[in-house]
């Protein structure tokens, strides 16, 4: 059974075959069977798609075993919210439970054993999108899928950062789903999650290693800056700047840190903050603070106010009061 609530689709079933078919429509084909005799299936599933990411909160209400085919077209990040899942990836065991996460790639074939109380936040990540981003980061084409450490500790370090990034994006999807129809907003969150996956998760390996970038020339930085200023109201990603300048992603990072003392995306954020301030100071301004902030890609208003005060020494509301 399928129903729609706001931006999310809700799936539910007590029939094993129907549940398997519904899940296969979101992920891929698999085998599903109940492993408990006394507990009936009570499959519940809410999901939505934002750009190259699919978010699911899913549980079966009964102990089940799931055997997947190779994932092929996507990577899978699973964050247990309750219960446990004893996984086997081509025979290698992983005990997945709250406080941890698992990441699997296109060549992985999983056997998952969910407890009756297990439910998860599962994020389906488009293979092409992640590998395109990783290719920019590593300065070369990828000939093989990205190899992740499957078992991630989300209580500290890079694993915790990954968990917080995924949770932040999911909460924003729940509260303000329409904002993710804006390419500028959606790509910001995609890049945040990709970057945590590729650089903050321990033991991430892209086809062996990530290369050290070459020095970047000032003209490359100027080209990127000029493009940002001319297209501030458009979706600008690191991939955009890589294709524009011909430099690698890491070279751009190093170049901006050397010549501007900040990363390219932080520099872009400051340019957009300038636009917000210009509009707030304009005597012909018609939109309120929320509308102006969201127009320039600032979704979380609390975070936006903090960034604005850090930059200008006052809150956006204080800027408005000075010109009224």
CATH number at residue 261: 1.10.10.60
> What does the alpha-carbon distance between residue 315 and residue 218 come to, in Å, rounded to a whole number?
34
Q: Note whether residue 309 is domain-resident.
A: yes
Lowest mean pLDDT among 61-75, 98-112, 280-294, 297-311: 280-294
* Domain identity same for 226 and 183: no
* Domain identity same for 107 and 144: yes
Q: Is residue 147 helix, strand or coil?
A: strand
Q: Note whether residue 213 is domain-resident.
A: no
- Give the end of a domain, one of 157, 172, 200: 200
pTM > 0.75 = no
* Domain identity same for 167 and 240: no
* Domain identity same for 22 and 162: yes
* Domain identity same for 64 and 182: yes
* CATH number of the domain bearing residue 76: 2.60.120.10
pLDDT digit string (tens) for 45-104? 999 999 999 999 999 999 999 999 999 999 999 999 999 999 988 767 888 998 899 999
- Give the end of a domain, one of 200, 233, 261: 200
Mean pLDDT of 273-300: 84
108-112, 120-124, 184-188: which is most confident: 120-124
pLDDT reading at 323 higher than 90: no
pLDDT digit string (tens) for 141-164? 777 788 888 888 898 888 888 899
Lowest mean pLDDT among 27-41, 214-228, 279-293: 214-228
> What does the alpha-carbon distance between residue 26 and residue 16 come to, in Å, rounded to a whole number?
16
> What does the alpha-carbon distance between residue 162 and residue 233 come to, in Å, rounded to a whole number?
28
* Domain identity same for 251 and 278: yes
Query: CA angle at residue 258 from 248 to 242, to 5 degrees?
Result: 20
- Residue 195 belongs to what H/E stretch? helix 183-195
Q: Is residue 214 helix, strand or coil?
A: coil
* Domain identity same for 32 and 176: yes
Name the residue among 207, 28, 60 with its Cα closest to residue 124.
Answer: 28
* Domain identity same for 196 and 235: no
* Domain identity same for 105 and 146: yes
Q: Note whether residue 35 is domain-resident.
A: yes
Q: Note whether residue 209 is domain-resident.
A: no
* Domain identity same for 27 and 78: yes
| Domain extent at residue 58 | 2-200
- Check residue 139 and give its pLDDT: 66
* Domain identity same for 133 and 165: yes
């Amino acid at each position: 059974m399928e129903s729609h609530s706001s931006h999310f689709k809700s799936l539910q079933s007590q029939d094993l075959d129907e549940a398997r078919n519904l899940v296969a429509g979101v992920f891929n084909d698999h085998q599903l069977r109940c492993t408990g005799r006394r507990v009936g299936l009570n499959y519940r599933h809410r999901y939505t798609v934002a750009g190259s990411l699919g978010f699911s909160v899913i549980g079966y209400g009964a102990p089940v075993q799931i055997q997947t085919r190779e994932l092929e077209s996507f990577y899978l990040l699973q964050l247990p919210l309750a219960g446990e899942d004893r996984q086997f990836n081509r025979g290698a065991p992983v005990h997945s439970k709250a406080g941890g996460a698992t990441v699997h790639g296109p060549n992985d074939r999983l056997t998952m054993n969910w407890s009756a109380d297990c439910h998860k936040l599962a994020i389906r990540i488009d293979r092409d999108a992640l590998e395109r981003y990783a290719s920019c980061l590593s300065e070369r084409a990828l000939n093989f899928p990205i190899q992740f450490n499957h078992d991630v500790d989300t209580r500290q370090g890079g694993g915790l950062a990954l968990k917080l990034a995924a949770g932040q994006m999911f909460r924003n999807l729940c509260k303000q789903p329409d904002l993710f129809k804006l390419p500028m907003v959606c790509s910001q969150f995609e890049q945040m999650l990709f970057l945590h996956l590729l650089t903050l998760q321990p033991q991430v390996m892209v086809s062996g290693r990530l290369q050290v970038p070459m020095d970047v020339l000032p003209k490359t930085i100027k080209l990127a800056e000029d493009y940002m200023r001319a297209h501030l109201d458009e979706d600008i990603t690191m991939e955009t700047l890589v294709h524009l300048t011909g430099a690698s992603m890491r070279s751009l990072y190093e170049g901006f840190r050397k010549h501007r003392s900040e990363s390219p995306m932080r520099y872009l954020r400051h340019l957009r903050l300038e636009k917000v301030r210009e509009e707030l100071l304009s005597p012909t301004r018609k939109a309120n603070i929320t509308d102006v902030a969201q127009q320039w890609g600032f979704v979380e208003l609390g975070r936006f106010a903090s960034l604005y005060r850090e930059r200008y020494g006052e809150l956006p509301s204080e800027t408005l009061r000075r010109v009224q």
